[in-house]
Amino acid sequence: MSFFVLNILDALRDLGEEIVTGLISTFKCALNAEIQDFLQNNAINFAKKKISVTYLVINQSNELVAYFTVTHKPVLIPTGELEFSKTQRKRLERFSVFKSENGEHHASAFLIAQFGKNTGLEAEKTYQVIFSWISHLQNFAIFNISLVVGLFSWNAKTKKSC
């Protein structure tokens, strides 16, 4: 079974709010009511306000099998307290802004804010969703994944947290 990932803003533009609201009303999450509540009561408004963007995972039967929501998270890197090589500084400056008043680099990274599967569907229909998510996220956020990996290795060397 194959899946496709649909940006909720594109769905609103192409299908209209009534159809999108109907689709997301079919989502059930028996394990965590907050996951269901966010999708059904906040996802559309958050997307319209550019707070976050929700992606709907749809199967071949046009059923909503899962969703995930992505937002930006500010990352503050206290470079004034740490020593970086020239190469590390150049890499850091490609995706961040240095604030001399506090000696920090300010960057933005993707944060998966919500992640849920529709427990109202048969279990075997939803297992393959994970592979679809991983594939989409790898294509969607490869730069930011590299950033996070770089920060974790940086933390391991300095034994300091971000």
Window from 4-13, 91-100, 115-124, 147-156 with minimum mean pLDDT: 147-156
Averaged pLDDT for residues 134-157: 44
Longest dimension (CA), the chain: 55
All structural domains of the chain, each given as residue ranges with its CATH number in brackets, are 3-158 (3.40.630)
Q: How far apart, in whole angstroms, are the C-alpha atoms of residue 93 and residue 74?
A: 15
Q: Between 97 and 42, name the one with better pLDDT.
A: 42
Q: How far apart, in whole angstroms, are the C-alpha atoms of residue 58 and residue 159?
A: 42
58 closest CA partner among 79, 27, 17: 27
Q: Which long-range contacts (CB under 8 A, 24 or more apart) does 31-39 make?
A: 31/119, 32/116, 35/114, 35/115, 35/116, 36/116, 38/69, 38/114, 39/67, 39/114, 39/116
Q: Going by C-beta distance under 8 Å and a sequence separation of 6 or more, which residues neighbour residue 116?
A: 27, 29, 32, 35, 36, 39, 66, 67, 68
pLDDT above 60 for 78: yes
pLDDT above 90 for 145: no
> Which pTM value belongs to this model?
0.69
